[in-house]
């Protein structure tokens, strides 16, 4: 059963009434279920039982400290793509030896920070990055653990803005070039070529692209091992999809089988980097209807949440389920409406042409499956402060990020001396 469910006519997060929570913290607000996070992580880890593997939560999916700490307490590592995410992971208690530093544009400062922390590995994406890492490690008298991120030229069959495994994408190293860079890495004394990595995209809803990418990486690994390279880690990335609408992503058993098949017979430690899969369905965006608007061709429910709070619909044309917090009675009047925000952009919407119980001003709505790429991508356009985040555990709740005030935003700016 989902940890977001109706009980006695009111949507609950675990044992907590969401209407009461809205009264306490205001709207809009993100709400996460601790139970859902823990259950999802345990199920994912269990699918790889018996395999020499480390699960590194992909911090970019949701970087709230409480979320990272939840997974760290359960034994997870972290996949980070910036120095900021590295510092977040360390602050949340992730052991440095369970941190993988990915990303296509790491700076010398970021590489030095990873070396200083003593992380598990750097996923390197180009020759220039490899040479820069060697220089930084040499100056620091360290030996940098490296995995070459492979671009396997596999179509992930996902949205173009979250596909990363085709040759036209900016990510990774083509396989012929990877052979050359493996030789280069082996020749540089400040580098330790420890493994290979691959990540072909996000919200992948069929197992075939995973299997194809993993097989190509395994073939390359066998070739490099035969050439004398000590390939001992396989970073399989993440990208496993979830259900937002009518998707049918592969189950964990099928996904795990693709991983196991690829590494069969290889002397490697496996690194897995789930993000969206762990957090998407564990969070919602709670919002209130400001008023209804009758347009010439459409009806609009204008809510207090906006694209500044959840940009997925505007950025990716993504479907987000929207449901009322007060459970509709049987036979309630239904309406086809657009659920939109107050930001001054036509792209500011949460849902289009949805059939919902007829809303009225003051009604609470829940935007479901909003735990991934929600608050973490939020902005302050139209001088809209960042919204609070709440973590629920049973009937308890904690404010894990307070609501920002407009005064806080204004205080970030400075008026030039000649304007004062």
Q: Tell me, what's the pLDDT at 300?
A: 95
**DSSP state, 404?**
P
Q: Are 149 and 128 in contact (CB under 8 A)?
A: no
Q: How far apart, in whole angstroms, are the C-alpha atoms of residue 22 and residue 243?
A: 26
Q: Are 181 and 195 in contact (CB under 8 A)?
A: no
Q: How far apart, in whole angstroms, are the C-alpha atoms of residue 225 and residue 235?
A: 16
pLDDT at 53 over 50: yes
Between these two residues, 55 and 333, which has the higher pLDDT value? 55
Q: Tell me, what's the pLDDT at 165?
A: 45
Lowest mean pLDDT among 129-143, 154-168, 349-363: 154-168
Using 50, 70 and 90 to split pLDDT, how confident is the model at 132? very high
Q: Tell me, what's the pLDDT at 202?
A: 83
* Identified catalytic residue from 49, 344, 416, 419: 344
Q: Tell me, what's the pLDDT at 170?
A: 65
pLDDT at 299 over 60: yes
Q: Tell me, what's the pLDDT at 162?
A: 45
Between these two residues, 370 and 317, which has the higher pLDDT value? 370
Q: How far apart, in whole angstroms, are the C-alpha atoms of residue 383 and residue 66?
A: 26
Question: Average model confidence (pLDDT) for the chain?
Answer: 94
Q: What is the mean pLDDT of residues 213-242?
A: 94
344 is catalytic: yes
Rg (CA), the chain: 23
Q: Tell me, what's the pLDDT at 71?
A: 98
* Per-residue pLDDT tens digits for 243-285: 999 899 889 999 999 999 999 999 999 999 999 999 999 999 9
Q: How far apart, in whole angstroms, are the C-alpha atoms of residue 119 and residue 1?
A: 37
Q: Tell me, what's the pLDDT at 77?
A: 98
Share of the chain above pLDDT 70, in %: 96
pLDDT at 163 over 80: no
Q: Are 203 and 276 in contact (CB under 8 A)?
A: yes
Q: Tell me, what's the pLDDT at 308?
A: 97
Q: Are 238 and 79 in contact (CB under 8 A)?
A: yes
* Per-residue pLDDT tens digits for 334-363: 999 999 999 999 999 999 999 998 899 999
Q: What is the mean pLDDT of residues 127-143?
A: 97
Q: Which single residue is written with the structure tokens 């619909």?
A: 313
Model pTM score: 0.94
The two three-digit tokens of residue 227, written as one number: 């050439």
């Amino acid at each position: 059963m989902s940890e977001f469910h109706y009980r006695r006519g009111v949507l609950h997060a675990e044992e907590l009434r969401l209407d009461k929570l809205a009264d306490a913290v205001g709207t809009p607000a993100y709400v996460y279920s601790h139970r859902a996070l823990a259950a999802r992580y345990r199920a994912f880890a269990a699918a790889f039982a018996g395999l020499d593997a480390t699960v590194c939560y992909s911090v970019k999916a949701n970087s709230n400290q409480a979320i990272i700490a939840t997974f760290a307490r359960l034994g997870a590592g972290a996949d980070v793509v910036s120095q900021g995410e590295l510092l977040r992971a360390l602050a949340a208690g992730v052991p440095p030896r369970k941190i993988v530093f990915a990303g296509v544009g790491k700076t010398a400062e970021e590489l030095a920070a990873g070396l200083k922390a003593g992380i598990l590995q750097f996923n390197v994406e180009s020759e220039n990055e490899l040479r820069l890492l060697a220089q930084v490690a040499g100056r620091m008298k360290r030996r940098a653990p490296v995995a070459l991120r492979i671009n396997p030229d596999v179509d992930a069959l996902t949205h173009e803005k979250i596909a990363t495994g085709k040759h036209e994408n900016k990510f990774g190293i083509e396989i012929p070039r990877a052979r050359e860079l493996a030789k280069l890495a082996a020749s540089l004394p400040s580098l330790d070529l420890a493994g290979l990595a691959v990540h072909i995209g996000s919200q992948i809803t069929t197992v075939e692209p995973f299997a194809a990418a993993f097989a190509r990486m395994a073939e390359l690994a066998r070739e490099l091992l035969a050439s004398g390279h000590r390939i001992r880690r396989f970073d399989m990335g993440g990208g496993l999809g979830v259900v937002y609408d009518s998707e049918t992503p592969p189950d964990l058993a099928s996904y795990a089988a693709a991983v196991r098949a690829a590494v069969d017979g290889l002397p490697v430690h496996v690194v897995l980097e789930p993000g969206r899969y762990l957090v998407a369905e564990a969070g919602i965006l709670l919002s209130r209807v400001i008023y209804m608007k009758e347009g010439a061709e459409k009806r609009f429910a204008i809510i207090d949440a906006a694209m500044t709070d959840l940009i997925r619909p505007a950025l990716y044309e993504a479907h987000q389920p929207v449901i009322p917090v007060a459970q509709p009675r049987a036979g309630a009047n239904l309406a086809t409406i657009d659920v939109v925000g107050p930001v001054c952009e036509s792209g500011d919407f949460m849902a289009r042409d949805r059939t919902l119980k007829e809303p009225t001003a003051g009604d609470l709505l829940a935007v479901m499956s909003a735990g991934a790429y929600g608050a973490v991508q939020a902005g302050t356009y139209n001088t809209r402060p960042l919204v609070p985040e709440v973590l629920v555990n049973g009937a308890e709740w904690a404010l894990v990020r307070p609501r920002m005030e407009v005064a806080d935003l204004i205080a970030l700016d400075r008026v030039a001396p000649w304007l004062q």
